[in-house]
Amino acid sequence: MNFKERKECVICRGKSLRTYFEEDKSIPMGNNVVDTKQETFYTMPYNIQQCTVCLSYQIKYIADISILYENSFAGAYGSIRSTHNTLFASFITENSKVDAVCEIGAGNGELSDIILETKQIPYTIIDPSYCGKKENKEVICTYFENCRSCDISANTLVMSHVFEHFYSPLDILQKINSLESIQYIYLSFPDLESFIAEGTYLVLTPEHTFYIDNSFLIRLFEQHGFRLQRTYSHMNHSVFFEFYRSTQVIPTQSLVHDTSVTERIDNFFKRLEQSIEAVKIQDHEGSPSYIWPCSMHTIFCLSMGLPGNSIANVLDNSPLKIGKYLFGFNLECRSFNEVIESNAKKTILLAGGCYNREVLQKVKENKANTFYLL
């Protein structure tokens, strides 16, 4: 079987879990594009669990990581993502005591390139599918879980949109704490609180498999030996955290979310359900419908009930996606600019959440466009 069911909370290891949906849904095991239409895709059941002890949320089923990340997409497109790495690099290099970096999951290496332009320091990357420049870097091609402690001698650990991907975050924190050389941790974490408040569908997905609030995250790191020093919020997309190793013993205590988390998660799914129903009942007078972007945002909406047979194409401006097909749904990706600038009447479904602000004004400028925010 290419997936397995979780039996305990990944945050507190509690075994009392409340299932969210009465019936399992189905979701593709992947977040990428393929070159041609495919008859079959790897899929798995989809449901949510809430721990009744710490009130954290997690997805009920997790995919085989060799399938989930088989063709992982390491590119970034758009102003929010392009400015993210520059700002996060600056956030890190403001600390003059950073003298060597170990980055987990560096992807295309853009963050490491920016840091090394500012500081010529030893730089180690731990990533089984790293696809960036290797000059002035030591690359260890394995998962962090399998990495030997003796391979890490840096005083600074960097994770940019990585921690939320770990299936066992407690084990990761325990391993980091055991690395005596690590004095600083720099974490760029998706702004999950804003995501559920505003409808950005990068929460509780096959890749981002658990939900915790930012304050809970801070306390979790504290209990594993690292205190918060600074934070920075980037456009409701990411939160940067700077942690330092503390010599002070932190009393172990049970961590519990504020009870409001239950209502906030409920509202997140209810809002999406209502948006999907609103789109279904609209009469578009035979004009085609398109959805943006070509990413997990759209995969999530389609998996939650948005009818794919009513959509002509998925849209994106990334040249790495145009002309290919959205994984799991065989929707061809067309150029976003080309479609929205045409004079033909059409409906544009914007599923990008916090990214919608990058394109909304351009969609509004053409009177031939009717649009809906999912």
Q: Which stretch of DSSP H or E encloses residue 189?
A: strand 184-190
> CA–CA separation, 62 vs 29, rounded Å?
9
For 371, the token pair is 């649009």
Whether the CB-CB separation of 209 and 61 falls below 8 Å is answered with no
What percent of the chain is predicted at pLDDT more than 90?
86
Mean pLDDT throughout 187-211?
97
Q: Which residue has 């980055």 as its token pair?
A: 103
**Does 14 reside within a domain?**
no
Q: Is 149 contained in some domain?
A: yes
Residue 51 placed within a domain: no
Q: Answer whether 314's CB lies under 8 Å from 197's CB.
A: no
What would the two tokens of residue 242 be?
């700077």
Domain boundary among the residues 214, 245, 276 is at 245
Closest CA to 100 of 153, 179, 136: 153
Residue (of 311, 316, 330) closest to 35 by Cα position: 330
Q: Are residues 102 and 178 in the same domain?
A: yes
Q: Within a domain: residue 5?
A: no
Q: What is the mean pLDDT of the chain?
A: 93
pLDDT, mean of residues 337-344: 96
Residue 187 is predicted with a pLDDT of: 98
pLDDT value at position 366?
Answer: 97
Residues 197 and 100 in one domain: yes
* 160 pLDDT more than 90: yes
Range of the domain at 209: 79-245
In a shared domain, residues 192 and 296: no
CATH number where 110 lies: 3.40.50.150
Say what the pLDDT of residue 81 is.
73
Q: Is 104 left (phi over 0), alpha (psi -120 to 50) or beta?
A: beta
Q: Would the pLDDT of 1 be above 90? A: no
Query: Is 304 part of any domain?
Result: yes
Please report whether residue 71 resides in a domain. no
Each residue's pLDDT tens digit, 288-317: 999 999 999 999 999 999 999 989 999 999
Q: Residue 274 above 80 pLDDT?
A: yes
Task: Give residues with Cβ within 8 angstroms of 187, minimum separation 6.
Answer: 159, 163, 240, 241, 243
Q: Which long-range contacts (CB under 8 A, 24 or more apart) does 91-94 make?
A: 91/186, 91/230, 91/232, 91/240, 91/242, 92/156, 92/158, 92/186, 92/242, 93/118, 93/119
- Indicate whether 217 and 336 sit together in one domain: no
- Run of H or E including 19: strand 17-19
d(CA 363, CA 14): 47
Q: Estimate to the nearest angstrom the gap between the alpha carbon of 60 and the chain centroid.
A: 17
pTM of the model: 0.94
Max mean pLDDT range (168-172, 283-287, 318-322)? 168-172
Helix (H) or strand (E) segment spanning residue 173: helix 169-178
Tell whether 164 and 84 lie within a shared domain. Answer: yes
Whether residue 90 is found in the same domain as residue 234: yes
Same domain, 93 and 222: yes
* Domain-ending residue, one of 193, 225, 245: 245
- Alpha-carbon distance 356 to 351, whole Å? 7
The distance from CA 100 to its chain's CA centroid, rounded to whole angstroms, is: 26
Same domain, 324 and 239: no
CATH number at residue 367: 3.40.50.720
Q: What is the pLDDT of residue 76?
A: 56
Pair 228, 221: CB distance under 8 Å: yes
In a domain, 44, yes or no: no
Select the more confidently predicted residue: 253 or 298.
298
Report the C-alpha gap between 59 and 6 in whole angstroms: 8
Residue-level pLDDT at 281: 74
Q: What are phi and psi of 104, to 5 degrees?
A: -95, 125
What's the pLDDT score for residue 283? 61
* Cis before 293 (ω within 30): yes
Write out the two tokens for 338: 């080309």
For residue 28, pLDDT over 90 is answered with yes
**C-alpha closest to that of 25 among 275, 268, 303, 272:** 303
Residue 132: CB atoms within 10 Å: 18
- Assess whether 222 and 318 both reside in one domain: no
CA distances from 332 to 26, 131, 230, 325, 363 (A): 21, 25, 43, 4, 20
Do 291 and 241 fall into the same domain?
no
Encode pLDDT of 62-113 as tens digits: 999 988 987 665 455 567 777 999 999 999 999 999 999 999 999 999 999 9
Shared domain for 236 and 307, answered yes or no, is: no
pLDDT class of 280 with cuts at 50, 70, 90: confident
* Residue 102 phi, psi dihedral angles, 5° rounding: -120, 115
Tally of residues, the chain: 374
Express each pLDDT in 36-55 by its tens digit.
999 899 999 999 999 999 99
Last residue of a domain, one of 195, 223, 245: 245
In the predicted model, is pLDDT for residue 250 greater than 80? no
Residue 70 has what pLDDT? 77
Tally of structural domains, the chain: 2
Q: Quick check: is 263 in a domain?
A: no
Whether residues 129 and 229 share a domain: the answer is yes
Q: Poorest-confidence range of 16-30, 61-75, 143-157, 303-317? A: 61-75
